[in-house]
Amino acid sequence: MPKEIGTNRKLLFFFDDLNQKMYASRYEISPEAEKSLAQRFQVPLQERLLQALNKYEELCESTEIRVIATARNERHSEDPGKPSSWEKLQWDKYSKLWNRFQTYELRQPEDDAIIAMLATTVPETNIKAETERYPELARYNDSTFRNVVENLQRLQNESLPLTVTNYRHTLKDTWKNRYKKSVEKYSVSRCIYDAVDLLQQFDIPVYRFTVEPTARMLAAKNFWQQLWYYWQIRKATNYLISAERILEPRDGQIEAKPKQVKAGKYTLPFTRLILQLAEKHQEIPTSLLSFS
């Protein structure tokens, strides 16, 4: 992506966190409305932004302008009744604007990047830190740099040391609260969390094709119940993959459940299920099928 930014442009526009700004602007009074009653009272920010960019392109060559913007792309909302980050952009309604952009999916920060950020940033503060615990803190982190920044700001303001105990695992809530929110949104989320729990206990890889059948096994006792749960679990899995990255669970995420699944109770049906899946998917190593 860096090479796409270009360094030979005369004008560089940078817009950060467009989701929130676009959504908040729906109640903003248009600046032009204050000049003339004939003007529209409210003009969506998407339209105003497109008009501004078109005007600059009239004044300058399009090759002299570069516009960069950041936006979140979660398709599921964490707050019931409110639009998701993607819906706040209204991509379809304002396609003339958004289709002007080339989209790039930014990778989530790896643990090493978070460790490097802590090693670089903490010495510039008054925060006392257990530097040898940085790898552990990176695992606790919810895969966002923003969470690291929020933690460091809070610790500095409260004159607290950077320790595993003081570090908040997620930006908004603890893993327990995130689990609770997921279950409130989709009650079958319990089965999906339990499925990941069971897979981990048997050292079976956590893929969508292993999680969903396991969740259906835990949720239902007969064919008709599994049929009913099929779409419920599919919908909840879509949400958990997007909002909670359930297929790449972080330390403490699955343990936030009220209780652990008793693996021995499901050994026989689970073994049958995994054997069936192994015949279809090469991603399950046969060495894992000798359960202890």
* pTM of the model as a whole: 0.57
Higher-pLDDT residue of 77, 230: 230
Whether residue 224 lies inside any domain: the answer is yes
Task: Specify if 26 maps to a domain.
Answer: yes
pLDDT at 132: 92
Question: How far apart (Å, rounded) are the C-alpha atoms in residues 247 and 132?
Answer: 28
Between helices 175-185 and 223-244, what is the axis angle to 10°? 130
pLDDT at residue 127, as a whole number? 92
**Token pair listed for 2:** 């860096």
Residues 186 and 88 in one domain: no
- Rounded to an integer, the average pLDDT of 34-58 is 76
The average pLDDT across 66-83 equals 78
The pLDDT assigned to 80 comes to 66
Q: What percentage of residues in the chain have a pLDDT greater than 90? A: 20
Residues 213 and 251 in one domain: yes
Question: Is residue 2 very low, low, confident or very high in pLDDT (cuts 50, 70, 90)?
Answer: very low
How far is it, in rounded angstroms, from Cα 61 to Cα 19?
Answer: 28
Do residues 7 and 93 both lie within one domain?
A: yes
- Rounded distance between C-alpha atoms, residue 68 and residue 9, angstroms: 12
Q: Could you give the C-alpha distances from 114 to 63, 77, 147, in angstroms and in order?
A: 36, 26, 10
- The tens digit of pLDDT for each residue in 249-284 reads 877 789 889 999 988 888 888 888 988 888 888 777
**148 and 51 in a common domain:** no
Q: Domain boundary at 98, 119, 145, which?
A: 98
Task: Look at residue 53 and tell me if it is in a domain.
Answer: yes
Lowest mean pLDDT among 9-18, 84-93, 205-214, 232-241: 9-18
| pLDDT single digits (tens) 139-150 | 877 667 878 887
- Decide if 163 is inside a domain: no
Residue 17, amino acid: D
Say yes or no: 82 and 136 in one domain.
Answer: no
In a domain, 11, yes or no: yes
- Where is the domain boundary, 64, 98, 132? 98
Are 23 and 118 found together in one domain? no
Strand, coil or helix: 152:
helix
Beta bridge partners of 65: 11
pLDDT recorded at residue 1: 45
Look up the domain containing 44 and give its range: 2-98
Mean pLDDT on 113-129: 90
Domain-embedded: residue 104: no
Total domains in the chain come to 3
| Whether residues 57 and 90 fall in one domain | yes
Q: Are residues 184 and 278 in the same domain?
A: yes
Q: Enumerate the β-bridge partners of residue 66.
A: 12
Residue 96 has pLDDT above 80, yes or no: yes
Do 185 and 275 reside in the same domain of the chain? yes
Domain assignment of residue 67, yes or no: yes
Does residue 16 fall inside a structural domain?
yes
In this model, does residue 232 exceed pLDDT 60?
yes
Identify the pLDDT of residue 40.
60
Alpha-carbon distance 114 to 169, whole Å? 13
* HSE toward the beta carbon, residue 35, CA cutoff 13 A: 4
